[in-house]
Chain A
């Protein structure tokens, strides 16, 4: 158990304008769970892509069990016993579980044998899965099982997991950890990428921390506090959002029995959603991805219309109104997908600002867009939210994820909404930008705006929300005060228990 499995020495990879990895060296031992820790953009993904043969290092060497290791492509990496579970699942929605798994194998057995093997492995490791289901119909947790089983069928010596828990319920995380510990006990090394410190402290034997492409330290997480880890990761102390202490006002938004059919083959139907939202409070809506988050946002923003009485804004029915009319009334929304939904990728920040702010900021007069005023507004957003960009005429696509997210949220906040709905406000955003966005939402609520924050990041919701509700298969639970909720209760609300039950019944 103590032999060195994979040794990295001086790995360097540069892209135009940025050194993604700079002289990185560390060892992974057999049978250990080794964490790779760092902020977004610290170079974690590039490093594992080099190990998996997707990217070639500019310089540096790797040795696997003493032999030189330089995979030219993922196929070679898999042949050497290195397998990877991707952050954004590399699955094919329209194909079955068995077909997806066959695609990831060098030499797949006959379909019937493969189906049997899938059942065997999935039972051994407590990951129930039906080989003949179409992947598009699976939940996020089940999709991850497909990836893990695909890897396990090849008896890997090293299993790379890229942020595996970001889409799982707490209960599903427990199952995953049990599986990983079992694997490690059998001698498989696991390289575990995450930025969730508590997870790493409970699961991992060693941790290597990256910052700005450089290795900061390798340490034993169980002997290091989360705070120390965080500071090594970020390099400076973080500003935690200020405490709430808000007093909610009158009900501004009410949803009554809102039901909408699923928008497409792989969408989720909304089922009899009811809730009331008061001025000055933040309602956090949790849930595993794909349980109706996008659909709920679309129903609130006006992208999808419903019966007029299903959504009441200050007592006025607006379920039948489109996004423009709702914006003018004061109900604003920022969807999850930054590029292509919240912002038009090839249009400038000024144009993107004008697209949602036209009505509320009076940017259109006599049918003509006042581009001067639009640019002033874009500049205000850029200044107020510290958006790092050469200027307001830069294309949205050119901004990094965090900066664009600050702009997209800032654009709505600066329009002084009465109700703001955000979906995944800090998804894929580095810690500093995430803190700024959360603070902006808290400040907005303090000014009397009602905020609905839909997020899969429970830590985030615990930090900012006054009340918590969860979406599960298109149903919204009754909301409870955030203070006093335990992780277990939240997990139950998110339908984790229900999901596990279903998974067992399937086999």
Chain B
């Protein structure tokens, strides 16, 4: 095995790219869960975003329009989840799982004509002199706009939850919907907005896969990224900063195992490919042994205003 063939600068640069889809989806899901809703349909919303974004970008030639369409498309799917769980009071777990199946099926149907086509992709953002800094420039300042958007999103979500009244109300609804209702807050409306936001974020994450990271359409191309995003929210104990750490950690392991494979590590390839998932499971076990801290108290509980 030749570890010198692994370039740390490229490793970190590609880590940021590979972590962005999960980071976007996990940020959205964290906001949803903070409002007390458990949406297990992240995978379905991501892949719906991936194909919607891909199709629109190919047809219009504009990746920006593709991203907007991806956010809208996945938010539509999330809206279906919201109507089912918030108004018709269906079970959140079952509905979320159903959403994933619908998303996977729908995307492969829409995606059939697009297989084998290459999409227009996002250009690298020109950050002027920053990109010319040796090592750091290549590592941190040579990415496309969505990488920076995702980082700004983390900061924005953190600040909104911590400092604004809207963030306080969102946390209150997730903490105790009965108490929030008694104070006159619109529990269902707050949750619906959070669900739409979560859908849009998952859609952006999916589109980043199909428009930047790969960039082409393959059936089932999210390959479990949505589930990882869900796990990262728990891993992060529902905190924005830790979601960032979790997503980059996972992105790092993914990239590292690819590099190790290329370097000819004496470990079965199957095991290396599975390593990010194994490590996720391990981390989740450690967290739950320590006791789950910071989960919103009303998470996953249905709310009905009648009493």
Which A residues lie at the B interface, using CB under 8 A?
53-54, 73-75, 78, 86, 89-95, 99, 102-104, 108, 264-265
Contacts and interface: CB of A to CB of B under 8 A. Distances in A.
Contact of A92 (B165, B176, B184, B291): B176
A383 B185 CA distance: 45
Given A92-B175, A94-B171, 12 more contacts: A54-B182, A74-B183, A90-B179, A91-B179, A92-B171, A92-B172, A93-B176, A95-B168, A102-B168, A103-B183, A104-B183, A265-B293
Interface string B149-181: 000000000000000010011011001101110
B65 interface: no
A454 B182 CA distance: 30
Contacts of A94: 171, 175, 294, 296-297
A103 B178 contact: no
Nearest to B298: A92
A99 B168 contact: yes
Contacts of B182: 54, 74, 86, 90
B179 A102 contact: no
Contacts of B176: 90-93
Contacts, number: 49
Contacts of A54: 182
Interface in B37-51: none
Contacts of A92: 171-172, 175-176, 179-180
Contact of A73 (B172, B184, B296): B184
B171 A95 contact: yes
Contacts of A91: 176, 179
Contacts of B169: 103
Contacts of B294: 94
A75 B165 contact: no
A95 B175 contact: yes
Interface in B19-61: none
Contacts of B168: 95, 99, 102-103
A265 B297 CA distance: 12
A102 B168 CA distance: 9
Contacts of A75: 184
Nearest to A150: B183
Nearest to B294: A94
Contacts of B291: 264
A93 B175 contact: yes
Nearest to A75: B184
Contacts of B178: 90
A196 to B, nearest CB: 23
Given A93-B176, A94-B175, A102 B165 contact: yes
28 contacts: A53-B184, A73-B184, A74-B182, A74-B183, A74-B184, A75-B184, A78-B184, A90-B176, A90-B182, A92-B176, A92-B179, A93-B175, A93-B297, A94-B175, A94-B294, A94-B297, A95-B171, A95-B172, A95-B175, A99-B168, A99-B172, A102-B165, A103-B168, A103-B169, A103-B180, A103-B183, A103-B185, A104-B183
State the 4 A-B residue pairs at the shortest beta-carbon distance, nearest first.
A74-B184, A90-B179, A90-B182, A92-B175
Contacts of B185: 103
Nearest to B175: A92
Contacts of B296: 94
A93 B180 CA distance: 12
A282 B171 CA distance: 45
A74 B186 CA distance: 11
Q: Which of A94, A95, A103 counts the most chain B CB atoms within 10 A?
A: A103
A265 B179 CA distance: 20
Contacts of A104: 183
Nearest to A106: B184
Contacts of A265: 293
Interface in B281-307: 291, 293-294, 296-297
Q: Which of A54, A73, A78, A90 counts the most chain B CB atoms within 10 A?
A: A90
Q: Which of B169, B176, B179, B180 counts the most chain A CB atoms within 10 A?
A: B179
B279 to A, nearest CB: 28
Contact of B183 (A90, A95, A264): A90
Contacts of A95: 168, 171-172, 175
Contacts of B183: 74, 90, 103-104
A260 B205 CA distance: 47
Contacts of A89: 179
Contacts of A74: 182-184
Contacts of A103: 168-169, 172, 180, 183, 185
Contacts of A90: 176, 178-179, 182-183
A102 B182 CA distance: 14
A346 B169 CA distance: 33
Nearest to A92: B175
Contacts of B297: 93-94
Contacts of B175: 92-95
Contacts of B172: 92, 95, 99, 103
A152 to B, nearest CB: 16
A92 B184 CA distance: 14
Nearest to A84: B182
A80 B241 CA distance: 41
Contacts of A102: 165, 168
A86 B180 CA distance: 12
Contacts of B293: 265
A103 B293 CA distance: 23
Nearest to B305: A54
Contacts of B184: 53, 73-75, 78
Contacts of B179: 89-92
Nearest to B169: A103
Interface string B183-196: 11100000000000
A73 B297 CA distance: 25
